[in-house]
A and B are shown apart, each in its own frame.
Chain A
């Protein structure tokens, strides 16, 4: 079984905690927690192990809800990392740029 492009590059799938850390780096831990809790309540995605699709739903909700430009950038950044992982999961290590 060939390694995926993500595996060969050592890129793990982004998690809820990864997203929270990145958002907290911009708005602080308490605001990150409040924001995420609001998003989880609105989307019904309270899980501790969200899939890439579920993280994307939370991210899109946050982009639609937030008026803080810095928070929106952190969310876009999280969405990009999730997109990179998904793109690389669809490749094997034989495929090169």
Chain B
């Protein structure tokens, strides 16, 4: 379609005025996004070296094939650290927020455990379940010292399973160490 800049601007304004703009989603909260920015948590190259070793230990401790450090932005989450990831997720290092159980962790500020993703109403239709074959999830908040929840440390398994309190404590320890490293790095910037 060929348009002049003026025509294009008019079209743009019309589109935006009729578009549903998100206003009440916790993912869009200003203080939270400012915390993400302050920690540079949205920069893969910055975060990955700080957290990858923690995730390998976390996955081994919980006995799960995949462990992730996900930073939830607005419409997408950045997979800022990973252990055991392959395929398109390893290539893209992101998923849409609407597919991500970690977005639920951020919205609620609480741990989220799904022993069988295919049996849970909130996750049974997610492409990560239906297409990618993930079957179990456990995630805990990544919370800054100011209280902002910037993301989640989670594990995924390809078979239904339960997670013990010890498993969740291990994930919480990984999240706490990761935040400590990110905040120390931010203090040095």
Contact = CB atoms under 8 A, between A and B. Distances in A.
Interface of A: 5, 8-11, 16-17, 20-22, 24-26, 28-29, 32-33, 36-37, 40-41, 46-49, 69-70, 72-74, 76-78, 80-81, 83-84, 86-88, 90-91, 93, 95-97
Interface residues of B, number: 51
A53 to B, nearest CB: 16
A32 B179 CA distance: 31
> Which secondary structure dominates where chain A touches chain B?
helix
A48 B132 contact: no
Contact of B20 (A21, A33, A36, A83): A21
B158 to A, nearest CB: 9
Contacts of B95: 84
A76 B45 CA distance: 13
Given A72-B37, A81-B96, A87-B88, A37 B74 contact: no
12 contacts: A8-B127, A20-B12, A24-B21, A25-B21, A29-B17, A37-B12, A40-B5, A73-B74, A74-B74, A84-B95, A91-B87, A97-B128
B88 A47 contact: no
Given A21-B19, A87-B92, A37 B9 contact: yes
Nearest to A9: B127
Nearest to B79: A80
Nearest to B20: A21
